[in-house]
Amino acid sequence: MKKLLLLALIAQPMLSHADENLFGYVKGAEPMPNGAREIKQVITSRQDKGAGYYNGMNYNTEFEAGITDRFTATAAVNLQGMNTKDIRIDAYIPQDEKYSLKFSGVEGSVKYNFLSAAANPIGISSYSSINIGVLDAHSGLDKNTYSFEQFLLLQKYMMDGQLVWAGNVGIEATHATRKDVANLPAGFEWPVHPEMEIAIQLATGLSYRVAPNWYVGAETVYSSEFETEVGQERWSVFAGPSVHFGDEKWWVTATWLPQIRGGKSTFPEQDDKNLQLIERTKNEYRLKVGFNF
């Protein structure tokens, strides 16, 4: 009886963080409890391509529900803002573009938990998502995309839940078709035929509880992208700090993720040839706010 009571006391702070986002980019393995509901707003700012001016804003509004104690489902609406000036990248950015907010797509995802991190040495879940997009994330112009993601999510509690580790490994497949753009510069490359791309992503993070409800951590994301016609197109590594506050009914997470290194492809005007700035930026900033009910 004493052992069961001790186990319950240890597990309680861990269970309180079920699917609470300690990180901005790394996904946790814990699902939402059966019957739990959450509204989450994610705001991401992608800044600086090493030439001209670039700021891409992404707004993701999610509704998440615990269908069972192991199975969680999410539906989301995506919006986008864009401000780019004096940047021209063949096949990616043909012109200046500026708008504050446009509908950019919808997505749905499911998470199934095989092992709970609170009750086992390590938590294991699968994560699947489908994304349908109507705007290009790089240029801000019209582009039809259909993406599918499949991830393995790992999570481990240490020091009685004071230290949390999470790791992700996954693959994303995307089918995309750009729309025609009028008055392109002579010789500018802007393919409008369907393209297929596959990306492999590895991500990991550590988060430490520094005070009641407060966590400070760090996370890193590696991404490598392949296109059917040319093989590996580019790769990048991002790493940076995260801060999380979680209350009983709401939580907030802030992350700064600068690009540490990248390569395989560059464009002539970028100022740092050791970074991948065609599809990525030098810095990403993310704010996530969730409300439980």
Q: What is the pLDDT of residue 20?
A: 79
Give the Cα separation of 197 and 176 in Å (integer): 8
Give the Cα separation of 30 and 69 in Å (integer): 10
Options 1.20.1250.20, 1.10.3720.10, 2.40.160.40, 3.30.1370.160; which CATH number does 2-292 get?
2.40.160.40
Walk along the chain (293 residues) in steps of 10 and give the mean pLDDT of each run: 41 54 96 95 98 97 97 98 96 94 98 95 98 96 97 96 97 95 88 93 98 97 87 93 95 98 91 94 98 92
Q: What is the pLDDT of residue 10?
A: 44
For the entire predicted model, the pTM comes to 0.91
Q: What is the pLDDT of residue 18?
A: 65
Burial of 142 (C-beta count, 10 Å sphere; 0-12/13-18/19+): middle
